[in-house]
Structure 1
Amino acid sequence: MNESQAVKPWTRPYDWAEVVLGVVAMASPLWMATDNAAMWTMVVLGALIALDGLVSLAMPGMVAGEAIQIVLGVLLFISPWVMSYTHLTGIAWSSWIIGALTVVAGAAALPLAQAASRMAGSH
């Protein structure tokens, strides 16, 4: 993707991936065994991941959004240990996988957001 595509809203695939990952995290308690802590962790962090992805799509030059995305991914990854639901294998693995993929997507989108921010500042 070149820099001109980096500044065009609603076009960055990594941000779309973040939205999808957030929605999957939010919905995963619907089809997996869960407890109250796991359910609310997945719903809240999933909603925040999806919302941050949407904001990044709408405002491609916002570098902070990608940094926030990385932090949210780390929080989702560590949540089975912090919120004590490692015994719920399906939802715990969902947290680990979706959290890791969110970190990767946020890190991959960071250079694009930086390029968009630089281009916006040069106008």
Structure 2
Amino acid sequence: MSEVSTRAWTRPYDWAEVVIGVVAALSPLWLSTNTTMVWTMVVLGALIAIDGLVSLAAPSMVYGEGVQIVLGALLFIAPWVMGYTEFNGASWTSWVGGALVIIAGAAAMPEANAAHRMAGQH
């Protein structure tokens, strides 16, 4: 970790989370769907994007990355839990998007912890 970014709107992992969330939320527009899949993807995608925006706006809030990891895990398991595994495009969007959100959250955790420590020193 070279330099800890405590400036808002600068962390690439959080921008990735926003993009993944938007793609998940909008994916029912171009994927074969059912009602359960649409609501699952829209709600989880929106929550992921909102969490990313909150993390971007307040980079020293450590819990945002934990929320991100939980939301990524929910997106990953959604095809099985919500029963839309027969929709290949939606399932793969959930699996890949969820895994990427988990990875981004885990990768951002050390930087968020450092930013939180730095914010506490001021």
Give the TM-score band, short-chain normalised.
over 0.9
* Percent identical: 65
Q: Which amino acid aligns with 2:68?
A: Q
Report runs of 4+ in structure 1 exceeding 3 Å deviation. none
Q: CA deviation at 1:64?
A: 0.3
Question: Mind listing any 5+ residue stretches in structure 1 that lack a counterpart?
Answer: none
Q: Deviations along 1:35-94, whole A, 9 cap, x unmatched?
A: 001110000000000000000000000000000000000000000000000011110110
The residue number in structure 1 matching 2:64 is 65
Distance 2:57 2:28 in 1: 28
The residue number in structure 2 matching 1:114 is 113
Q: Which amino acid aligns with 1:58?
A: A
TM-score in terms of structure 2 length: 0.98
What RMSD over aligned residues (CA atoms) do the two structures have, in Å? 0.6
Distance 1:29 1:97 in 2: 15
Distance 1:52 1:82 in 2: 22
TM-score in terms of structure 1 length: 0.97
Q: How many residues align?
A: 121
Distance 2:62 2:96 in 1: 24
Question: Mind listing any 5+ residue stretches in structure 2 that lack a counterpart?
Answer: none
Distance 1:34 1:109 in 2: 32
The residue number in structure 2 matching 1:2 is 3
Q: Which amino acid aligns with 2:55?
A: S
